[in-house]
Amino acid sequence: MTRPNLFLIYVTDVERSTAFYSDLFDMQPKMITPRYVPFELAAGVLFALWSGRAEQVTPELPRTCEVGLMVPGAQAAVDSRFEEWSAKGVTVVEQPHDDVFGRTFVIADPDGNLIRVSPLD
């Protein structure tokens, strides 16, 4: 069976976004090029930043997908992550709240891409 193994996030400034995601997720890139920076999430699965469409990335552009981080633990684990990331000065899009799948919140990266934290399914 064929499964997705590359998740691209369009960014305007690869260096700035690499620093943001490296710090936020405490991970280092697999390699760095001027316009493309992949992070290996698991064997053969990449999360990558790409500035190849930088001219199309604007804060006003509605986002129709999100990067997700599911954390183990109860509501306190999500709230703790929110406190940790808020201390880093992230842009908060949605404050922590309860939804149908549990506690959640949403922040944005420097280009307006959405990042949701929720409990582990």
Task: Give span(s): CATH 3.30.720.110, the chain.
Answer: 65-121
- CATH 3.30.720.120 positions along the chain are 1-55
Q: For 44-74, how does the pLDDT look when each residue is reduced to its tens digit (9 = 90+)?
A: 999 999 998 888 888 778 888 999 999 998 8
CATH tag, 65-121: 3.30.720.110
pLDDT at position 57, please? 84
**What is the CATH number that goes with domain 1-55?**
3.30.720.120
* Long-range contact pairs involving 69-73 (C-beta distance under 8 Å, separation at least 24): 69/25, 69/115, 69/116, 69/117, 69/118, 70/117, 70/118, 70/119, 70/120, 70/121, 71/117, 71/118, 71/119, 71/120, 72/119, 72/120, 73/119, 73/120
Give the pLDDT of residue 43.
94
| Coil, strand or helix at 76 | helix
